[in-house]
Amino acid sequence: MRDGLIAVVGDKDSVLAFKAIGVDVFPVSDEEEAKERVHALARTHSVIFVTEQVAIWAEMYLKRYKARAYPVVVPIPSAEGGMGLGVSGIRANVEKAIGADILFNKEDKQ
Amino acid sequence: MELRRLKDRLKTATRGHKLLKDKSDEMIRRFMLYIRENLRLREEVEGELQASLNSFMLARAVSSDAAIEEAVSMPGTRLKLSASSQNIMSVDVPVFEITKEEGGELYPYSFATVTAELDGAIASLAELMPKLLKLAEVEKTCNMLADEIEKNRRRVNALEYVMIPQLEETIKYITMKLDENERGATTRLMKVKSMLEQQNGVQ
């Protein structure tokens, strides 16, 4: 069973820092590795932080986990910078639930 | 008999439709609250995370790779969560609570071997962790709520545009058929009566 463990998956530069604060760190460098790693971690960890690159690589699995309570997969920006994947995910959610992108339009007007 | 059963079903369907619609409204209201928080947290976290990762990169640039790896490879603390779930509008969403193991030290290395940048990076990262987890929680809640809202909308639409009109149609058909039969019976009776009267009149 999962035991409230936290994992970070991503390129080595981005994830190494997390190791020092005591979370499980898994550096990956290519698409195959990323998919396998995320898939395996989904069974053992409850929260998985992935860099945006990994999120794109393992998109197939992440979609599957979206509707379940665990694991919680969260995309984070890598050391090189973010691609705005997190915010676009929020936007997609709004669109899915309400049918129109009301949240962001409003902000544009302000 | 069938008519009565259908009428009952229509009543249930209408009531279900109303309930589901109310549920949908409430879910959207909550969703808006969560999604706003999600957006705020996401922006905050991304900014701060970027900053601490940058300072970590800086630390790597200053010291040798091996030194940094050695420094962080044996963490003094181990971050743990107690994960439970909470029920929001019949959707089970995760709730986290950080349970840090006691006795550990945040800096798992000797201060002599690495630079101050690493200290800063790790300290800010450790500070960021609760926020990061909060983000995980809220984002998951949003995901699941969005999913549920979509499902619910399908149900409402199915009831509103398929189920209820179909039932109404069938009820109408049966009612008309029954009325028709009744009228037929009445005319027949009247006809028989007039025929009888005619016969009586002849005799």
Q: Is residue A22 in some structural domain?
A: yes
Q: Name the residue in chain B with its Cα closest to that of A14.
A: B53
Q: What is the mean pLDDT of residues A74-98?
A: 73
- Which of these, B171, B141, B154, lies nearest to B10 by C-alpha position? B171
Joined tokens for residue A17 = 């820092």
Domain membership of residue A15 (yes or no) is: yes
Residue A90 lies in a domain: no
Inter-chain CB proximity A67 and B133 less than 8 Å = no
Q: How confident is the model at residue A1 (pLDDT cuts 50, 70, 90)?
A: very low
Nearest to B72 by CA among B123, B109, B102: B109
**Contact present, B133 and A47 (Cβ < 8 Å):** yes
> Which of B29, B11, B21 lies closest to B156 in space, CA to CA?
B21
- Please indicate if any CB of chain B lies within 8 Å of the CB of A105: no
* Cα(B162)–Cα(A89) distance, integer angstroms: 33
Is any Cβ of chain B less than 8 angstroms from the Cβ of A17? yes
Q: What is the ipTM of this complex?
A: 0.74
CA A14, CA B96: separation in Å to the nearest integer? Answer: 24
pTM of the predicted model, to two decimals?
0.73
pLDDT recorded at residue B137: 80
Q: How many domains does chain A have?
A: 1
Count interface pairs A-B at CB distance under 8 A.
148
Domain that holds residue A52: 6-79
As assigned by CATH, the class of the B25-148 domain is mainly alpha
Q: Which residue has the tokens 């809202």?
A: B149
Asked whether residue A85 is assigned to any structural domain, the reply reads no
- Supply the angle between the helices B116-158 and A59-66 in degrees, to the nearest 10: 60
Check residue B176 and give its pLDDT: 93
**Contacts (Cβ under 8 Å, ≥6 apart) of B127:** none
* Residues from chain A contacting residue B24 (CB–CB below 8 Å): none
Q: Does the residue A19 lie in any domain?
A: yes
Q: Do A22 and B140 touch (CB under 8 A)?
A: no
Strand order across the beta sheet in which A47-51 lies: A24-27, A6-10, A47-51, A72-76
Query: Could you tell me the CATH number of the domain that includes residue A11?
Result: 3.40.50.10580
- A67 within some domain: yes
Q: Are B109 and B70 within 8 A, CB to CB?
A: yes
Q: Which residues of A touch B72 (CB under 8 A)?
A: 16-17, 19-20
DSSP 3-state percent helix, strand, coil across chain B (nearest 5): 75, 10, 15
Read off the pLDDT of residues A15-74 as tens digits, 9 standing for 90 and up: 777 777 777 778 777 777 777 777 877 777 778 888 877 777 777 777 777 767 677 788
User: Measured between beta carbons, which residues in chain A are less than 8 angstroms from residue B134?
Assistant: none
Running along chain B, 203 residues long, what does each successive block of 10 average in pLDDT? 85 88 86 84 81 76 68 64 70 70 58 66 76 81 83 87 88 91 94 91 75
Q: Which chain A residue is nearest to residue B75, measuring alpha carbons?
A: A20
